[in-house]
Amino acid sequence: LFFFSSSGCDSIKGTELKGGLKRVKNLLLGPCLSGEKKTDEIRWYKDNSVIMKLKNNDITNYMKKEAYNMSQNGTLQIHRLVKEDSGNYKVQVYNVEGKLKMEKNFHLIIQDHVSKPKITWTCSKKTVKVICEVNQTDKASIHLLQNNKAVPGNKPASANGKLKIEFTYRNTTFPAKFQCEVKNDADKKTVEQEIRCSELGSLDIVLILSIAGGAVFFVIFLALLIYCIRKKRAERYDEEALLRTIIYQLVSEPLGHSVPTLNHIWPLVFQKWEPPDVPPKIRDELPQVPAHAPQRQPRQQQRPAPQPHPPHQAKLPQPRPRTQPKSPSHMKERQ
């Protein structure tokens, strides 16, 4: 509802009026009349076309009778505002001499009532995307705020009858409060939303769990490796101990003057040792080694036959060496 009284009329040269369709149903536009001189005629114009006239207390409606009405004091009333009622309005007041006493211009703007905006968000491992949108594009502005401070985001975009603005946050502490504000010249609405993102904190948890799982797998693998190595060593040690035992038994048993050979050892080895990894069914199908393998008799070393000696020949006597006579000088020395 707008009404202009007579106070300060001379100083007003132009007025802009803004109203929403759902807020303002009836609009009153009143001329500023000083009342010093008698008024004879009042005219109302819209976009330079006469819509109402008051003369000698008679009111004439030149436009839609259901949309406009005029009182005796010159006030124009607009019923059931629609967007088509926007435009330039002018009122003229004449005195009894027919002279223009006052003229006033109004610019009326009728806009839609703004809708309630909506805040949506998308969380990822490193970023958070916040979107503020509203189902309205008629001369409305939209703003995204964090903790009541404007966010330097992208410019608003309009598509499919929606107006939206979005911004992507990186390394932002969450939870955080965001506000979405939508307004036009006649209305304003704001919504607030607290955003929580569990995906931002889950990155560290996933990393820690991955490292812990890798460590557990490595420990298990290392334990299995050590177990297999020790098992192989134990099996090898058992085989060597069994072989030493068999050899010792063979050496301890009287075998005459012969030395134990592989022909003596292997039958006993196959008799007492079984492969641990061979299943019983397959082991039964393998050829069995006889318990007492035939032993070869050790060969006795034969002495070489005596060879005939040549006939014995009698040795001839060797001549005795002759003694030399001693010299006289040698005799004297002995004396």
Is 312 or 178 the better-scoring residue by pLDDT? 178
| pLDDT the model gives residue 192 | 92
In the predicted model, is pLDDT for residue 3 greater than 50? no
Alpha-carbon distance of 117 to 134, in angstroms, equals 5
User: Contact at 8 Å (CB) between 90 and 99?
Assistant: no
Sequential DSSP letters for 207-252:
HHHHHHHHHHHHHHHHHHHHHHHHHHHHHHHHHHHHHHHHHHHHHH
Contacts of 77 (CB under 8 A, 6+ apart): 26, 27, 28, 29, 68, 69, 70, 71
In the predicted model, is pLDDT for residue 153 greater than 90? no
When the pLDDT of each residue in the chain is averaged and rounded to a whole number, the result is 72
Distance of CA 208 to the CA centre of its chain: 15
In the predicted model, is pLDDT for residue 292 greater than 70? no
What ranges do the domains of the chain cover? 15-111, 118-196, 201-272
Instruction: Name the token pair of 246.
Output: 């068999």
Is 117 or 111 the better-scoring residue by pLDDT? 117
CATH of 15-111, one of 3.40.50.10240, 3.40.309.10, 3.40.140.10, 2.60.40.10: 2.60.40.10
Superfamily of domain 118-196: Immunoglobulins (2.60.40.10)
Alpha-carbon distance of 149 to 250, in angstroms, equals 99
Instruction: Name the token pair of 297.
Output: 């008799």
Quick one: average pLDDT of 127-133?
Answer: 87
| Whether the domain at 15-111 and the domain at 118-196 fall into the same CATH topology | yes
User: Contact at 8 Å (CB) between 21 and 113?
Assistant: yes
Is 73 or 220 the better-scoring residue by pLDDT? 220
**Dihedral of alpha carbons 79, 82, 84, 88, sign:** positive
Give the largest Cα separation in the chain, rounded. 212
Alpha-carbon distance of 246 to 264, in angstroms, equals 10
Distance of CA 183 to the CA centre of its chain: 36
Alpha-carbon distance of 32 to 12, in angstroms, equals 9
Which pTM was predicted? 0.45
Is 157 or 29 the better-scoring residue by pLDDT? 157
Alpha-carbon distance of 134 to 212, in angstroms, equals 47
| pLDDT the model gives residue 220 | 94
Percentage of the chain beyond pLDDT 70 is: 58
